[in-house]
Chain A
Amino acid sequence: MSDAVDTTPGLEANAANAQVAAIAVAPHPLTIDPAGEGFWASIDRLTDRASGWLNPILIKEARQALKSKQFIITFFSLLMCSWLWTILGIVLQTPDVYFIPTGETMLYGFYFVLAIPMLGMVPLVAHRSLAAEIDDGTFEMLAITKLSSMRIVLGKLNSAMLQMLIYFAAVVPGLAFSYLLRGVNMPTMVMLVIVVFFSAMLLTTFGLLVATLASHRAWQALALLAVIGVVLIAQFICGAVCLDGILGTDVGSESEAWFVLAAFVLVGATCMVLFIKAAAARIAPVTENRSTGLRWWMFLQQLVWIFTFAYLTFYNFGDPGFRSAEPMHFAMIVIAGYWCLMGTLMLAESPELSPRVQRGLPSTFAGRMLKLWFNPGPGTGFMFATCSGVTAMLVIGIFLSIPELVDFSSSSKTASMTMALLLSGYLLFYLGTVRLLVMLLHLILRRTFVVPIVVLAAVLFAGVIIPFLARVVLAGGMSGSHSMIDLPNWGWTIERAFWPGVGWEFGLLAFTAGGLVFALNLLLFFREFTYRRIAEPARLQAEQAWSESDIVPDVLTPDA
């Protein structure tokens, strides 16, 4: 500032210098209490007070965004594209625009104008924003403030949502214009906007989670590539759903479409919360309990999976003659896959519980009985995943096998109980094997989530390739017919379970093999089972008592 004052020549420059100098000595507005009389002064005071409740990250990011070229270029490009399409769309549809409804065609163009920044820019910017904090070393400065890891992640999400709203505001006049041209009804338009918004939020939370996975610059580049890949795929899927599925068929007035959307929003919302919680857990202090909250959410998410599939199974979509157990069988596959992945990730947890975590363990016998599997640790994680998954699948299998309860006119090729046993067996066998191998590998390798994931991929691949090799060795060649020897090949066996179906012996054998591996895992010592709740240190209790009352506690001396 002072340099500018010294070096700018001429009379005009002197005036400019005086202005700059006046700014330089004037106190910054952020250092002045909002004062004064009148309506605007009171609004100023009110907003200042309200800003104290806002997430500081949101305020920071908003300030940064308003100064950033990226945001300004994106926003004005969006406005320009919106105006250009308005003109171009009318020109291309002249003279039809005067006589027939052309709103739908206009909306196609506005979809692209809205979707590209919402589904592309916003998730990538959110991802880079968090990754850059970690990379540039600013995250450490954030980490030592009073902001919790959840607030940091939510702050990033909030600023992404703010960007979405601003971009949406730029396209709203175009959407309104399309509606005025007729040819598209309001519910369809609302549905389109909901899908774009929700997909953008889901992608943003995914981007934030991926940003927390990599701390090294090389891994961050890989993470960015992964996010770009997912964003591109999502653009295609969302484009197909919105343009063909929603706009093309104008489904806004059909109740079935809204039910499917509700199911998507429900499942998507649970995924979003899981991503946020996982991202917050990744950046939280290591001594914190970063697992129990996630496990409760996984448990809830499983219930949502079951509810959603059951709802879609038993809701007949206007065709009372068609009912099949196959959607529920598909639900069982989702549950088995879900717990296999989540169980594998939980294997990366440390069996050592910090004193801080131990303070939060259940204190009563009943509490320990009911909540033991929710405690952090790879052993409890394995038990939690297998118990949750197997229980859910067996309950579904039993439920679907009672003809008095369900009546499927179009039955599936494999009995529901066989399907439940088969998938439960796979979950127990593969997750159990992964756990045994990971336990061995952790003797020589550092604990990281990459090790269990790599082991899982290797074990699943071995499950597919070994039966093929066995066939080559035993029979001297490959065969297209599925038999008992192909049972470890989970992909082929599950496919056969849907068509032409597999017999009960497949389910029983898979469940028996899985049970044996599970039993072997049970024999191994679960270190984290031995942990018990410990008392809070006196100093911390005193601190809490102090913060809750005005009375000075006696224990605030080192001796106490």
Chain B
Amino acid sequence: MIATPWTGPAIELQNLSREFGSTKAVNEVSFTVPRGSVFGYIGPNGAGKTTSMRILATLELPTSGEAFVDGLSSINDPDQVRGRLGFMPDGFGTYGDMNCAEYLDFFARSYGVVGRERTARLRWVMGFTGLDKLAYKPIRGLSKGMKQRLCLGRALVHDPAVLILDEPAAGLDPRARIELRQMIRALAAEGKTILISSHILTELAEMCDRIGIIEQGRLLATGSVAEIRQKLRKTRNVLVRVTSPLPEAMAILQQHASIDRLEGDNGLIRFHITGGDREQTEILRSLIEGGVEVLQYAPLDESLEDVFLQITKGHVQ
């Protein structure tokens, strides 16, 4: 597909809201995804991820706000958006009596891919997703992982610039998950813009340039994992290794009001500091001044899961 040289964000949500009766599934959500980047959309079940993705994919209308793909409105110009978007929903229906090649061929035709371009795209998609060995197999005989590959293939068959993947790894075994992750990385390397939601946060952290955390329809944070960690971090997880007796060090640490969840065992002390760099240096100084021999004093890196747990409250609506 020939894409226009649009230089703006590939995906943009502007104050997007969607209400179902009294429930606000999506509440004033705004973010942008630059061209060629991978954006991870994370949040607990019922947070509003799927609804906002479906609005972007032109399948649902918002109550208010706007959603753009390549600068074109998903709401008012869905026919323009559909050609440049590949959507892989969480749950999807397939035609069980068709085989994989026929299924992909049908969708290629439906996206207007004809002639030699169609056969070339089919070859590429089947090779990329590893479905070339299962081309003759009826869809109803495919495993969950293979169906996911087929759905990814369907989303890619017209060579879209933007991909929206809603829980693509849900229900897959570890091998299938790793393979899917490799495929997404390969697509990102090709310059596709990808919006992906997943519950497997470690995987998202590895493959996403930026993430957005959503809960109860509200977007709580956006940015890279490091940025969010930096911006929203209220506590720091610190590890101290001491050679002097543990009770002495523990006694000094207990005097600090900024310290929380103090644990010590076998020469290792872990605690949380409420505050920033100043509090962290003050604690180190007090330990040294108190005569404690400090072998190691380091803040522990928080994983995406830690950040997620800190930011979200686990509320469902």
In the bound complex, residues from chain B placing their C-beta under 8 Å from that of A355 are: 76
B68 nearest in chain A by CB position: A539
Q: Mark B1-17, 1 if CB is under 8 A from A, else 0.
A: 00011111100000000
With both chains docked as a complex, state the minimum distance between the C-beta of A154 and any C-beta of chain B, in angstroms: 13
Considering the chains assembled together, what is the distance between the CA atoms of A64 and B103 in angstroms?
Answer: 11
Q: How far is the CA of A28 from the CA of B101 in the complex (A)?
A: 7
- Establish whether residues B98 and A63, one from each chain, have CB atoms under 8 Å apart when the complex forms: yes
A52 contacts B102, C-beta separation under 8 Å = no
What is the CB-to-nearest-CB distance from A332 to chain B, in angstroms, rounded to a whole number? 41
Q: How far is the CB of B57 from chain A (nearest CB, A)?
A: 6
| Chain B, 69-84, CB within 8 A of any chain A CB | 71-73, 75-80, 82-83
* Contact B110–A543 (Cβ < 8 Å): no
Does B128 touch A at the CB level, under 8 Å?
Answer: no
Task: For B89, give the chain A residue with the smallest CB separation.
Answer: A140
Report A56-69 CB contacts with B as 1/0, cut-off 8 Å.
Answer: 10011001100110
**Contact present for B5 and A552 (CB under 8 Å):** yes
In the complex, which residue of chain A has the Cβ closest to the Cβ of B72?
A539
Tell me, yes or no, whether B180 is within 8 Å of chain A by CB.
Answer: no
Question: Looking at chain B, what size class is its interface with the partner chain?
Answer: 35 or more
Contact string against A for B residues 129-155, beta-carbon threshold 8 Å, 1 for contact and 0 otherwise: 000111111000000000000000010
Asked if A146 is an interface residue, CB under 8 A from chain B, the answer is yes
Contact call B89/A287, Cβ cutoff below 8 A: no
Residues on B with C-beta less than 8 A from A285 are 58, 78-79
Q: Give the contacts of B103-134 with A (CB-CB under 8 A).
A: 105-107, 109-112, 114-116, 118-120, 122-123, 126, 132-134
For residue B196, CB closer than 8 A to chain A, the reply is no
The distance from the CB of B60 to the nearest CB of chain A, in whole angstroms, is: 10
**Chain A positions 26-65 with a Cβ under 8 Å from a chain B Cβ:** 27-28, 30-33, 48-49, 52, 56, 59-60, 63-64
Q: Which residues of B contact A49 (CB under 8 A)?
A: 115
- Chain B residues lying within 8 Å of A556, measured Cβ to Cβ, are 4-7, 71
**Do B136 and A147 have beta carbons less than 8 Å apart?**
no
Q: Which of A1, A52, A56, A148 sits near B106, CB closer than 8 Å?
A: A56
B58 / chain A contacts, CB cutoff of 8 Å: 143-144, 285
B158 smallest CB distance to A (angstroms): 8
Which residue of B98, B105, B134 contacts A1 across the interface (Cβ within 8 Å)? B134
Interface centre among A28, A33, A546 (most CB of B within 10 A): A28
B65 to chain A, nearest CB (A): 13
State whether A145 and B110 are in contact (beta carbons under 8 Å apart), knowing that A1-B134, A31-B101, A552-B5 are contacts in the complex.
yes
* A200 CA / B94 CA spacing, docked (Å): 29
Q: Which of B59, B76, B97 contacts A68 (CB 8 A)?
A: B97
Number of A-B contacts defined by CB within 8 Å: 136
Contact among A30, A147, A540 with B122 in the assembled complex (CB-CB below 8 Å): A30
Q: Does B95 contact A (CB under 8 A)?
A: yes
A138 on interface, CB distance cutoff 8 Å: yes
Q: Determine which residue in A25, A285, A355 has the highest number of CB atoms from chain B within 10 A of its CB, and name it.
A: A285
B87 within 8 A of A: yes
- A255 on the B face (CB < 8 A): no
Task: Name A543's contact: one of B72, B102, B154 (CB within 8 Å).
Answer: B72
Tell which of B5, B95, B98, B109 touches A52, judged by Cβ atoms closer than 8 Å: B109
Within 8 Å by CB of B87, from A139, A144, A354, lies A144
**Known contacts A27-B135, A287-B78, A556-B7; A144/B106 CB under 8 A:** no
Report A33 CB to chain B, min CB distance, Å: 5
Residue of A nearest to B85 (CB): A144
20 A-B pairs besides A1-B134, A285-B78 with CB distance below 8 A are A1-B136, A24-B136, A27-B135, A31-B122, A31-B135, A52-B114, A63-B102, A68-B97, A141-B92, A141-B93, A144-B87, A145-B82, A145-B111, A146-B82, A287-B75, A354-B75, A556-B5, A556-B7, A556-B71, A557-B7
Q: Which 8 pairs, one residue from A and one from B, show the smallest C-beta to C-beta distance? A: A52-B114, A558-B8, A137-B93, A56-B109, A28-B135, A145-B110, A138-B93, A28-B101
Residues on A lying within 8 angstroms of B by beta carbon are: 1, 23-25, 27-28, 30-33, 48-49, 52, 56, 59-60, 63-64, 67-68, 136-148, 285-287, 354-356, 537, 539-540, 542-543, 546, 552, 556-558
